[in-house]
Amino acid sequence: MKRVISVTITACTLGYAGVVCFYSAVSASLNHDEHQFMTGAYMVARQGLQPFRDFAYFHMPNLVYIYSLFFFTPNPLLAARLFNALCAFGICLTIFLVARLLFRSFGLVGSAIIAAASTILLCNNDFFQNACRVWNHDSATLCAIGGFCLMNKALRERRLTWFALAGFAIGMAIGIRLTFASLLVPFLFATLAFGSASWPAKARSALVFALGALVANLPAIYFCLSSYRDFMFGTFEYSRLNTRYFAETFPMVVQVGKVRLLADAFQYRSSNLFIPLVAFFSLLLLAVALITRSTRPKSDVVFLIVVLGFLLVGCFAPTPFQYQYAFALCPFLLLLTLYALASLPSRELLLTGLALIVLTAGISFFSLASSPANPLSLGGIFHPSTWTPVQVAEQSRWIKNHIVSTKPVKVLTLSSIAAVEAGLPIYPEFVTGPFAWRVSHLLPADQAAARKLPWAPGFADWLNRERPLAVLTGNEQDPIQEGPIIQEITRLGYSQLQGPRGLVLWQPTQ
């Protein structure tokens, strides 16, 4: 009977996590960050071009090759969104399995309840539900969590294979999102500081870990060596220009402060506070046990605290701070909660901490169940016409049907997903969407050209030379960026045709 109850809890919990991840992926509105990832992947898959070398790219290169595979499917955006949903589900599954393993002494039913509560806390967090888009948070965080689990196993067994795999996982996280590079410090620290192995053995472990991370970043190493200036600009210099752009255009966004913005983000919905609350409470219980000298801090708890410290460094590194940057903090805070509670020697303290997890999970579940955006209502899931990727596919079909030209068409747009899903190439200068466009005026014309960026002050001259046969507007998240484009094409006599869901197709007057 206990086994049946345990299997039922497991199935219901993972089923719930799957529904939340899927619903988040198909229902989340289109974000302008997604255009760069999808368009870069299109240029690789369909045009045979490479990031940095052939077009500007402002992220690490690993993910562009994964996303390029989805352009061999009928709906690339849907496939890419589902890939991120799968990564998010992988994070949920890891939390569930870790919780069940740590509290297996509570029996089949008890450990299943604790694992279910931990997973539900993560699923119902607003950071988590808003992350299943085509960007680099879900996949990088999954790799980082996998790296932590592999490192724990490596430290226990001291096998070089596990250190290599842990290094590869952390290297993949870095090769997807550069801010995870801060994790190299705590992972190398753990390799050298924990365990009873000799110093030569620890040094070998650290070397193997580093080699694994290097192998995962071979694409970045290749572009650094073959296209050094373009790689350095896309990886580092653009961030400086973006900070300057926001400081000049939206100074309050920069001046408010990143800690304040993070605090505001956690307060956006009350359930966002549950994970920090249970993490703080578990550390408080652990502090009580340490003060009474009834236990000593275990290495995995110390490891996680150091990891979270460096995750915060990566979270606050970009300017301005964005809501989604805190995504990785949530599963790692849950891991810290679980490991801290598992290290408590007192049964009373342990039960108090676990009771808080179960209570907050129940509150968050019923709070979400009463929300209009409740994924369990399943209304949106069973109506594909409401899915964002399906709506973008509708726009793509409309574009193909309404372009009037006997010549090969290259599209000018700052929001390119609908165009590339229609199989229409865009100008390499605009692969990054609004991001290169909005900072290009901060560079001299020759440097913008050298870095393969559009130069906004010289856009009229560029337009006179190129004369695109199709221009798309209306999908950009920040419509102000499209203003100069609309002004110039209107001056040249382009005619507009209103498309579905705000899309506007501009073509030269025949």
In our burial notation (b when 16+ CB lie closer than 10 A, e otherwise), range 273-285 reads bbbebbbebbbeb
Contact, 61 vs 419, CB < 8 A? no
Check residue 235 and report its DSSP letter.
Answer: I
pLDDT (0 to 100) of residue 350: 86
Closest listed residue to residue 129, CA positions, set 84, 64, 77: 84
* pLDDT tens, residue by residue, 258-314: 666 666 666 666 667 889 999 999 999 988 888 877 667 788 899 999 999 999 888
Q: What is the mean pLDDT of the chain?
A: 90
pLDDT (0 to 100) of residue 253: 62
Tokens of 286: 């652990």
* pLDDT tens, residue by residue, 402-443: 998 778 889 999 999 999 999 999 999 999 999 999 999 999
How confident is residue 377, by pLDDT bands cut at 50, 70 and 90? low
Task: Indicate if the pLDDT at residue 499 is higher than 80.
Answer: yes
Instruction: Tell me the average pLDDT across 218-222.
Output: 97
pLDDT (0 to 100) of residue 125: 86
* pLDDT tens, residue by residue, 451-487: 999 999 999 999 988 889 999 999 888 888 999 999 9
Instruction: Tell me the average pLDDT across 29-38.
Output: 93
Task: Indicate if the pLDDT at residue 161 is higher than 90.
Answer: yes
The model carries a pTM of 0.93
Task: Indicate if the pLDDT at residue 27 is higher than 60.
Answer: yes
Q: Which residue has the higher pLDDT, 440 or 128?
A: 440
Rounded CA separation 64/39 (Å): 9
Three-state DSSP at 495 gives strand
Tokens of 199: 């110093």
Rounded CA separation 28/323 (Å): 15
Task: Please report, for residues 333, 352, 361, 406, the alpha-carbon distance to residue 348 in angstroms, rounded to integers and kept in the order given.
Answer: 22, 6, 20, 77
Task: Indicate if the pLDDT at residue 364 is higher than 80.
Answer: yes
Rounded CA separation 16/20 (Å): 6
pLDDT (0 to 100) of residue 336: 96
pLDDT (0 to 100) of residue 255: 58
**pLDDT over 70 for what percent of the chain?**
93
Strand partners, 51: 55
Query: Is there a cis peptide before residue 320, judged by omega within 30 degrees of 0?
Result: yes
Task: Indicate if the pLDDT at residue 87 is higher than 60.
Answer: yes
pLDDT (0 to 100) of residue 405: 79
> What string of DSSP letters covers 427-488?
-GGGTTTHHHHHHGGGS-HHHHHHTT---GGGHHHHHHHH--SEEEES--SSGGGGHHHHHH
206: CB partners within 8 A, 6+ apart: 163, 188, 191, 192
